[in-house]
Chains A and B, each alone.
Chain A
């Protein structure tokens, strides 16, 4: 149980384009989903927290207009990187939790912006 998937696993895009990453909880209902960013050899950095049906809460320094988060259902959250630039290249990881349980992480999405 407690499986979280992400799609795509890796994406390469041109500078200026937008990229959407999906995070799904496959076998449980996720009241809360989290989006993290991880640079090489570093720990996970929380970008935002989203609760189903409400606006995401962004961490300090994270541009909410650049990283659009939607949590439309209890099993799906999406992160859209708008007008991506090379400095947005990173490993993006989501996690999901139900009210009664801890967070389970997705396998991550490697974004490369050319």
Chain B
């Protein structure tokens, strides 16, 4: 099925560094969502974006909904060890209560 292009696939960083990951799509989405998944757990919603150009923060996390509605990025500032996990982007045609299209995930490793 349809998937988003999420990059990078994996990242290895030092504690305290900033991180950036992004998702692109060949088609337009009206909602972009970012989730984090810890091993053996379900994804947890980090940030939801509903408007093109929107920039939203959640603590050390910042995400933007691209102007073209075909991309989004997630930044994590001053990373800490508990940021370790897999980050997924997801696109939706409406508000996200319907079918989502997922990226393949970015695996983040933070070295203390």
Please give the residue numbers on chain A whose beta carbons come within 8 Å of chain B beta carbons, in ascending order: 2, 4, 6, 31-32, 34, 42-46, 49, 59-60, 91, 93, 95, 97-108, 110
Contacts and interface: CB of A to CB of B under 8 A. Distances in A.
Given A59-B1, A98-B97, A101-B97, A43 B105 contact: yes
Given A99-B97, A103-B96, A107-B42, 14 more contacts: A34-B99, A43-B88, A43-B102, A44-B102, A46-B100, A49-B99, A93-B42, A103-B33, A103-B45, A104-B45, A105-B42, A108-B40, A108-B42, A110-B40
Interface in B16-69: 31, 33, 35, 40-45, 48
A4 B3 CA distance: 25
Contacts of A46: 1, 99-100
B98 A43 contact: no
B85 interface: no
A44 B88 contact: yes
Contacts of B100: 34, 46, 103
